[in-house]
Structures are given as C-alpha cells and as structure tokens.
Homo-oligomer: A and B are copies of this chain.
Amino acid sequence: MQTALDVETRALLAKLLRSERVGALGTLRDGAPLVSMVPFLAEEDFSAFWLHVSRLAWHTQDMLREPRVALSIAQTDDRRTDPYALARVAIRADAAQLPGDSEHAGRLKRAWLARFGQSHIHFELADFSFWRLAPRDARFVAGLGRIHNLSADAVRAAARGPERP
C-alpha cells in the first residue's frame, strides 16, 4: 500500500536525498543481483537521480542490458547503538544513459563538480557518462518500524517542501 507522507516525514526524506552523497546501486548480472557503491546527485525536484559511471564498470554493462535497477540511500552510520534506526530509502528505478553532447550534460557536469570537486578527472576519461535513474517507486524507512511505500509522485512531493504538499 502506498501512502502520502506528512510534512515532517517529507522533510526527513528530502534531507536524506540531498545530504547523502553515495548510494548502493543494484543491477542484474547473470540473473542475480550485484550491488556497487556509487556517488549520486538528486535532481532538484527528485524526478531523477544521476550517476556518473564508466562503461568499463560492471554495473554500467549491467544497465545497458537491463534498465531496471535499484538505488539505496542510507543515512551515514553515526555509530549509534542500533543501526536499524538509521533512515534509508530503497528506490526502484529505470536507468537510461544521457547523450554526452546534450545541453543537459553540460549543466549536470557543473552541478556534479560543485558537489564532487576532485572528480574532474573522470570527465577527461572517454568512458565516463551520466546515467539518469527515473524512480518507479520507493520504500522509505524513516527509522525503526517507520516504513513508507511511496510512488514516484510521492518522492517528488518531498522535494517541494512544507508549503506545497
């Protein structure tokens, strides 16, 4: 069952998606799951999550074959006694490569470098490109037992803040 989030929970989700920088990408490889750490950037309105990956990487080869992927974003472990209380969201998404010469790619590159300064080296490598992950749905665990199944619309609603629910 999918639910709408209250103001406080929307703010928690927005904070999680904007403050964390690395996620875990699940792809399909030989019919079984593979999970890889990936830096990511959330689109302002949460309509997409961007990756910048090498076509030499296993997960990129996987996405070329099977666009259905998952991205887990978890609150950084602050060494609290019970890690099950950490906030996390599992997004199921469709992945598509962004053409390198698009206007969008230029804008993204600036946003990416603003977040990951040192990573300009990756833009000098021909095998790196942006991939767009468009959410199909999400499962947000705001803390112990606080589980919310969300539509892609509900994820986008979290980007709009308290004034515009």
Contacts and interface: CB of A to CB of B under 8 A. Distances in A.
B36 A72 contact: yes
Given A77-B20, A81-B116, A116-B81, A92 B34 contact: yes
Interface stretch (A1-9, A42-50, A63-71, A155-163): A63-71
Count this chain's copies in the assembly. 2
A24 B24 CA distance: 6
A33 to B, nearest CB: 3
A126 interface: no
Interface of A: 20-22, 24-28, 31-37, 39, 58, 66, 68-72, 74, 76-77, 79-86, 88, 90, 92, 116-119, 121-122, 139, 141
